[in-house]
Homo-oligomer: A and B are copies of this chain.
């Protein structure tokens, strides 16, 4: 490949100045038709592409946003990412995906992108904002930091948030079980210290309180298939034995159902299971998993729009930042 063409090369060939080339590219409306044509031809001839680094340096704006994901392998995040990308690419923004793998060190390394000019803003799907960054935000004068938390809220919530009402959604799931006659319930919860765990747990409790159902159990998981499988044994040892389980996510529900099947316990005949998220594998369990669907695509889209509003790329959207969930009735819950 030859040396890359610069805007200067294009200018020379088109017989105009570099300023005009830049204008012909970005604001074609303000140059003469013939100039535009000449520049276009010169670009085609040279195969010119804008040097992004030079633009970023000059504009002091990267036109890129960072998306921090705790685990890119978690299918739950993928559709949110799709929503983010959809809005981003339509707005000419690049997204940089950072997989923190749950490590603080990596979180910080990625959030550095905010100050080293690599990105203009960040979307946090990891439910955490390192102390150092939070302080920086607090110290910031004028305007919100260009950060939006998505799906998993922050505590304290120092930046805008887009997601669902987890408490209400958990209440919905639990009430669904209660309405079908279940009186001994179990909640397969997420890891301790996680805000989603707390919110869903509290929705579960609220629903039982309201229904006047006193007996329930809690099993602590960590959102993985494995922990769902491990929960099966605990569940079967419970007394009184629960007739229904509300799992805080689908992965654990899927693991639980598989482990129960291995032990000869039938779902939903012996025990009903309802999940949370509606990941794609939820429809391929045996039986298909009844679960709470999160509007993931929409969450991603809304979050990205909100962030762009913060950055000033577009005016802030006025839609809701808590989106509606949907209960997907499939085959894993039976009435008693």
Contact = CB atoms under 8 A, between A and B. Distances in A.
B96 A52 contact: no
Interface stretch (A26-34, A199-207, A252-260): A252-260
Contact of A261 (B82, B112, B286): B286
A304 to B, nearest CB: 14
A285 B285 CA distance: 7
A53 B117 contact: yes
Given A57-B51, A255-B284, A99 B81 contact: yes
- Quick one: which of A53, A75, A258 has the most chain B CB within 10 A? A53
A298 to B, nearest CB: 16
Contacts of A254: 281, 284
Interface in A43-61: 47, 49-54, 56-57
B1 A112 contact: no
A282 to B, nearest CB: 10
> How many chain copies does the complex carry?
2
Place the interface of chain A in its size category.
35 or more
A182 interface: no
B57 A82 contact: no
Contacts of A94: 96, 118
A160 interface: no
B57 A53 contact: yes
B62 A73 contact: no
A38 B236 CA distance: 64
A229 B282 CA distance: 13
A237 interface: no
A220 interface: no
Contact of A96 (B81, B96, B229): B96
30 contacts: A1-B141, A49-B112, A49-B116, A50-B116, A51-B117, A53-B56, A53-B57, A53-B62, A54-B117, A71-B78, A72-B72, A72-B78, A72-B81, A73-B78, A73-B280, A74-B78, A85-B99, A89-B109, A94-B118, A96-B97, A97-B97, A225-B281, A225-B284, A255-B284, A257-B284, A258-B283, A258-B284, A262-B286, A281-B281, A286-B286
Minimum-distance CB pairs A-B, first 8: A73-B78, A53-B56, A258-B284, A53-B57, A261-B286, A97-B97, A49-B116, A1-B140
Given A52-B118, A72-B72, A82-B101, 11 more contacts: A1-B139, A4-B115, A49-B115, A52-B117, A53-B62, A53-B118, A72-B78, A72-B81, A225-B281, A257-B286, A281-B281
Interface of A: 1, 4, 47, 49-54, 56-57, 62, 71-75, 78-79, 81-82, 85, 89, 94, 96-97, 99, 101, 106, 109, 112, 115-118, 136, 139-141, 225, 228-229, 254-255, 257-258, 261-262, 280-281, 283-286, 288
